[in-house]
A = this chain, B = another copy of it.
Amino acid sequence: VGPEALSLWKSKSTFTSFGVFFLQMGWGDLGAFGEPSKETPNLDQMASEGMLFLDFYTANPLCSPSRAALLTGRLPVRNGFYTTNAHARNAYTPQDIVGGIPDSELLLPELLKKAGYINKIIGKWHLGHRPQFHPLKHGFDEWFGSPNCHFGPFDNRALPNIPVYRDWEMIGRYYEDFKIDLKTGEANLTQIYLQEALDFISKQQASQQPFFLYWAIDATHAPVYASKYFLGTSQRGLYGDAVREIDDSVGKILKRLQKLGISENTFVFFTSDNGAALISAPKQGGSNGRFLCGKQTTFEGGMREPAIAWWPGHIPAGGVSHQLGNVMDLFTTSLSLAGLQPPSDRQIDGIDLLPAILQGKLIDRPIFYYRGNEMMAVRVGLYKAHYWTWSNSWEEYSKGIDFCPGQNVSGVTTHTQEEHTTLPLLFHLGRDPGEKYPLSFASDEYQRAMERISVVVQQHKVTMVPGEPQLNVCDKAVMNWSPPGCEKLGKCLKPPKSDPKKCFWPH
């Protein structure tokens, strides 16, 4: 950020707080991004008061690695949130995972803490559920939510139900103490998460402390839920009800900031951890608009995300940016706003977006699309080169697991892992955002674009030092049998004998 812009916000505020909304929602789920039911008035208003990012990406087509990337500013292949059990496989943190966020990683809240910030996570942590990975050990001061997805209900024998934590200890379990009715889709959770956010903001404002609020809720992740008031209110069915409730919550949180007079001191960003899960559509999954495929894939539908930056008085209202952005940039941008430097002892992949946000600059930077341990594709400017293509295996596909329902691009949405490293498939995302028309290998345009891209890829590969993979080993003994606090509640369960195995990652 240039000195003028910097002094502008410094003069207006003594601190800048941060809010990050990080959800599973597709590019095409917001009215502002062309969702035809137009049911997100609050998010659309956030966009019209702030800046819409049209070329913004997540770091991975799956939840845990993206969340690790957001908080570390680093690609999952660096911070360990990937697997080497098989080639190019998506991995995450189910409750039998042994790994989690390594102590060696520096998380955004850890760094902000040194500058006096109070940090809270509301919702799904997903960076490991064993005690050493607890968010309060990694810089957060407060937590309300769960370590894993809200799958269930389980019988507490083969699998325990997922615990819900307040700070250090569990206060109950999903389906037992925090009801989710899978039949009706009713759950009151988003309302609880909303209230947590409102209370936290009011408390910090009263104590005049800068804060980082990470609202990482899970209502649009299958099993999708909404509270009673929102059930049946959307044209889009249950998924739409959940979106409407989130939209309403975002609106209430922004209004609270305004009412407390701290909206001009609070930088807020809304985005998503992966593309809509088309496998769960239409009832439990959203929309990636016109983009190809969805969650689990490195096509645009899997990783291009809705993104809105909001900071009244600083970000010009109604702005639109074509800056190539990534969730990892929120790490670096937040540090920049807090007057902190990113760690210099490691590779940071996120860039400072402030010049793009405040001065409308376009920073030249690539986007890497990883699936597990493999760089599947890269975007440079408007060109995207696929070095590997894969939707999912024939075996999974034949079982009805389809990451690209209704879509089929010959030679692109392949059901075997196809290597194109010597002659990448190249798309121009301006003319062809849907990745349907690979450029001719013989064209001058192909040659020119690939010359530029090859340099970027070579540089990336040469300097890549992968982290120790955290998502290789699974063990039923490490599941959420006896989380801290279970004794007080009488909710401790007996774990089975330890039997660590290679995790199986089919996708």
State the A residues within 8 Å of B (CB).
Answer: 28, 31, 33-38, 52, 54-55, 234-237, 239-240, 281-283, 287-290, 292, 320, 322, 382, 405-409, 428, 430-434, 436-437
Decide if B430 touches A235 in the complex (CB within 8 Å): yes
Which residue of the partner chain B has the closest CB to A410? B406
Decide if B406 touches A436 in the complex (CB within 8 Å): yes
Q: A194 to B183, alpha carbons, bound, how many Å?
A: 57
List, sorted by A's number, 12 A–B pairs whose CB atoms are closer than 8 Å: A31-B320, A36-B290, A37-B54, A37-B322, A38-B54, A38-B320, A236-B431, A237-B430, A282-B436, A283-B431, A288-B290, A406-B408
* B residues near A282, Cβ cutoff 8 Å: 428, 431-432, 436-437
Decide if A436 touches B237 in the complex (CB within 8 Å): no
Decide if B433 touches A240 in the complex (CB within 8 Å): no
Q: A437 to B279, alpha carbons, bound, how many Å?
A: 12
Q: A169 to B31, alpha carbons, bound, how many Å?
A: 47
Which residue of the partner chain B has the closest CB to A437? B282
Nearest chain B CB to A436 CB, angstrom units: 4
Nearest chain B CB to A432 CB, angstrom units: 5
> Provided the pairs A36-B54, A54-B36, A408-B406 are in contact, do residues A290 and B431 lie with their beta carbons within 8 angstroms?
no
Nearest chain B CB to A242 CB, angstrom units: 13
* B residues near A289, Cβ cutoff 8 Å: 28, 34, 36, 289-290
Which residue of the partner chain B has the closest CB to A35? B34
* B residues near A408, Cβ cutoff 8 Å: 406-408
* B residues near A382, Cβ cutoff 8 Å: 235
Which residue of the partner chain B has the closest CB to A382? B235
Q: A274 to B254, alpha carbons, bound, how many Å?
A: 40
Q: A292 to B434, alpha carbons, bound, how many Å?
A: 13
Q: A419 to B502, alpha carbons, bound, how many Å?
A: 51
Nearest chain B CB to A367 CB, angstrom units: 14
Q: A409 to B430, alpha carbons, bound, how many Å?
A: 26
> Provided the pairs A430-B234, A430-B235, A431-B283 are in contact, do residues A292 and B34 lie with their beta carbons within 8 angstroms?
no
Decide if A236 touches B436 in the complex (CB within 8 Å): no
Q: A434 to B236, alpha carbons, bound, how many Å?
A: 12
Q: A432 to B285, alpha carbons, bound, how many Å?
A: 11
Nearest chain B CB to A92 CB, angstrom units: 26
Nearest chain B CB to A68 CB, angstrom units: 27
Nearest chain B CB to A72 CB, angstrom units: 28
Q: A290 to B294, alpha carbons, bound, how many Å?
A: 13
Nearest chain B CB to A339 CB, angstrom units: 33
Q: A430 to B235, alpha carbons, bound, how many Å?
A: 5
Cβ contact of A409, chosen from B28, B36, B240, B406, cutoff 8 A: B406
Decide if A290 touches B235 in the complex (CB within 8 Å): no
> Provided the pairs A33-B34, A38-B320, A431-B282 are in contact, do residues A28 and B406 lie with their beta carbons within 8 angstroms?
no
Decide if B287 touches A431 in the complex (CB within 8 Å): no
* B residues near A36, Cβ cutoff 8 Å: 54-55, 289-290, 433
Q: 3 nearest interchain CB pairs?
A: A34-B34, A235-B430, A406-B436
Nearest chain B CB to A386 CB, angstrom units: 15
Cβ contact of A290, chosen from B28, B38, B283, B437, cutoff 8 A: B28
* B residues near A322, Cβ cutoff 8 Å: 37-38, 235
* B residues near A55, Cβ cutoff 8 Å: 36
Q: A234 to B431, alpha carbons, bound, how many Å?
A: 9
Decide if B431 touches A237 in the complex (CB within 8 Å): yes
Q: A34 to B44, alpha carbons, bound, how many Å?
A: 12
Nearest chain B CB to A288 CB, angstrom units: 8
Interface centre among A234, A235, A290 (most CB of B within 10 A): A290
Q: A322 to B409, alpha carbons, bound, how many Å?
A: 32
Q: A400 to B377, alpha carbons, bound, how many Å?
A: 28
Q: A74 to B382, alpha carbons, bound, how many Å?
A: 44
Nearest chain B CB to A183 CB, angstrom units: 15
Which residue of the partner chain B has the closest CB to A304? B36
Which residue of the partner chain B has the closest CB to A381? B235
Which residue of the partner chain B has the closest CB to A432? B282
* B residues near A432, Cβ cutoff 8 Å: 281-282
Q: A436 to B236, alpha carbons, bound, how many Å?
A: 14
Nearest chain B CB to A491 CB, angstrom units: 37
